[in-house]
Chain A
Amino acid sequence: MISGMIMDEKIIEFNNVTFMYDAEDEETGVVSAPAVKGITLAINRGEFMAVLGRNGSGKSTLAKLCNAIYEPYEGDVIVEGMNTREEENGDKIRRKVGMVFQNPDNQIVATIVEDDVAFGPENLGIEPKEIRRRVDEALKSVNMYEHRLRQPHNLSGGQKQRVAIAGVLAMQTDCIVLDEPTAMLDPVGRAEVLQTVKRLNKELGITVIMVTHFMDEAVEADRVVVMSSGEVVMDGTPQQVFSDIEKVRAYGLDVPQSTALCAALSIKENVLNAQQCVDVIDRICGGVK
């Protein structure tokens, strides 16, 4: 269990952060439009935060600012007290905050599952016995231990993504940033990855930042942040964010079908999934007579 006190501790802080690709054209001196602008945001330890927004809204940029892949143009990103601007912090930050990307085939390097998971800790120069322990533990955490000797290319997309997550866990990171981890998966693969992420968050207390286009995934988070044109435009619990259907749609997003159905029926309660929807309808109808 994560206590309220731990939740109050900030693991990553964005202080007025602006970032642009190709900041300045050398010939013309024209400054390009920022991908994120003036973002101030604190991610609490133990939180599961979903980041939503249209393509090009700055979600992936935000994700990559979290572990010093990108350095802010203006402002600071502070990870567990370390500023991502300072080069000597880079390695330390990347051990605290791991990333999982969209395409599982682009992030698996080894020919055997367990070797792939060991790749990170091996690079840190950790002794073999400890690596063995971490790899086993990480693979068990994502329910891939029995597949440890298989070849990654024979795994399903959902299994590959779980191997990628195990690779991050083996680094003993406190926080995982996932950039659309389920975009290329089928419904079962999506469910596997989401369940894994939720379990790591609830049971191991790992902070999760997940960029997604799927509203049914976002409703599983503790907190939903909506981005538009590089800015954070909504920030709250899934109930708070999805209760404003008009606003959510105006930002190019959608609400779950359950939420839309209840709104169309003028049911005032905040409903986020099929089960809640059925419960509300059942209650209003007073059960089957």
Chain B
Amino acid sequence: MTSAIEITGLSHYYNKGTPNEVAAIKNANLRIEKGELVAIIGHTGSGKSTLISHFNGLLKPDEGKVFVDGKDIWQSKESLRESRFKVGLCFQYPEYQLFEDTVFKDIAFGPKNMKLDDEEVKRRVLRAAQLAGVKPEHLDKSPFDLSGGEKRRAAIAGVMSMQPQVLVFDEPAAGLDPHARKQLIDMIKSYREQTGCTVIFVSHSMEDVAYLADRIIVINQAEIAMQGSVSEVFSRGDELTSMGLNVPEITRIFLMLREKGYDVPKDVYTVGQAVPHIKRLMEGGRAI
């Protein structure tokens, strides 16, 4: 089976050919399988956004290749166009990109561009609205009459309506309150469960990453520094800290307990996982 996205030897430079040339991403190799939910983490300026902008050809690599569904996207005009439909990018604060006079029209913009008939467009809009949690009564409203969280869902539905095989989110929950954040993260989770699509998301919230992702890719100073399961990556807390990242608070507690000599695992990252371990410690403590 072909991978959803495969990147080989990818480098991208800004100000190429000038004295200010800097590598935004250097010799990156990665493979994202179909149906995976992958988190990309890294400090500001590490190259995350540059990397994801290559996934559907918004940026052209200076070196290396990008394959979407097994096809080299820069092979021809057609393959490039195809990659734009196969991989949907949802940028940070996507609600700033809403522009139509109703939510329905905004969500329909993508499918209309794909030259689908009206019936199919409508079907896709309704499906995307349902997946993104846009209330049916909001479809005829102006997007500008919605609250911040509702606008964001409408904007995300506008990407989902293209029915991409891969959906990429750049910090989907930035600026939302804890409740709205939780709802949005749950929405992404159920989107993946309902559609089986590949989902990639960039996040600064290690708690969200721990909750949502199957696998983590860590970018540091324009290079891929780590790739692995959530527990593999978070067990390397010290390295993450040195890269300007952190681990979930629960993981930090467990790493600190280990330092004190307690026999606890280092790959614990949610409250639910933590409780039995600490209970065991506390019972042991009382027994002595």
Contacts and interface: CB of A to CB of B under 8 A. Distances in A.
Interface of A: 53-57, 102, 156-158, 180, 183-189, 213, 215-216, 252-254, 256-258, 260-261, 264-265, 273-275, 277-278, 281-282, 284-289
Nearest to A184: B174
B54 to A, nearest CB: 21
A285 B179 CA distance: 34
Contact of A285 (B149, B178, B256, B281): B281
Contacts of B76: none
A72 B42 CA distance: 43
Contacts, number: 114
Contact of A274 (B178, B180, B253, B288): B253
Contacts of B253: 257-258, 261, 274, 277-278, 281
Contacts of A288: 260-262
Contact of B44 (A157, A254, A278, A282): A157
Interface in B262-288: 262, 271, 274-275, 278-279, 281-282, 284-285, 288
B178 A252 contact: yes
Contact of A252 (B43, B180, B248): B180
Contacts of B136: none
A156 B176 CA distance: 22
Contact of A281 (B44, B177, B244, B278): B278
A130 to B, nearest CB: 35
B92 to A, nearest CB: 8
Given A189-B44, A282-B262, 16 more contacts: A56-B148, A180-B175, A185-B204, A213-B176, A213-B177, A215-B178, A258-B249, A258-B253, A260-B271, A274-B256, A278-B257, A281-B278, A284-B282, A285-B262, A285-B284, A286-B288
B285 A284 contact: yes
Contacts of A252: 177-180
B187 interface: no
A265 B244 contact: no
Interface in B156-194: 174-182
Contacts of A278: 253, 256-257, 260
A55 B151 CA distance: 12
B147 interface: yes
A288 B259 CA distance: 11
B246 interface: yes
B244 A186 contact: yes
Nearest to A157: B44
A216 B284 contact: no
Residues of B contacting A: mostly: helix
Nearest to A278: B256
Contacts of A265: 275, 278-279, 282
B45 interface: yes
Listed residue (B175, B177, B274, B281) with the most chain A CB atoms within 10 angstroms of its CB? B177
Contacts of B279: 265
Given A213-B177, A213-B178, A261-B278, A274 B249 contact: yes
A287 to B, nearest CB: 8
A55 B274 CA distance: 30
A53 B178 contact: no
25 contacts: A53-B177, A54-B180, A102-B175, A183-B175, A184-B175, A186-B244, A213-B175, A252-B178, A252-B179, A253-B177, A257-B207, A257-B253, A261-B253, A273-B249, A274-B249, A274-B256, A277-B253, A278-B256, A281-B253, A281-B281, A281-B282, A282-B257, A285-B281, A288-B260, A288-B261
A55 B285 contact: no
B245 interface: yes
A261 B250 contact: yes
Contacts of A216: 249
Contacts of B180: 54-55, 252
A286 B262 CA distance: 11
B281 A188 contact: no
A261 to B, nearest CB: 5
A202 B151 CA distance: 39
Contacts of B148: 55-56
Contact of B246 (A180, A187, A260, A286): A187
B211 to A, nearest CB: 11
A156 B250 CA distance: 28
B252 interface: yes
A256 B284 contact: no
Given A156-B44, A257-B249, A261-B274, A54 B244 contact: no
Nearest to B283: A285
Interface string B206-226: 110000000000000000000
A214 to B, nearest CB: 9
Nearest to B264: A281
A211 B260 CA distance: 36
B250 to A, nearest CB: 5
Contacts of A281: 253, 257, 278, 281-282
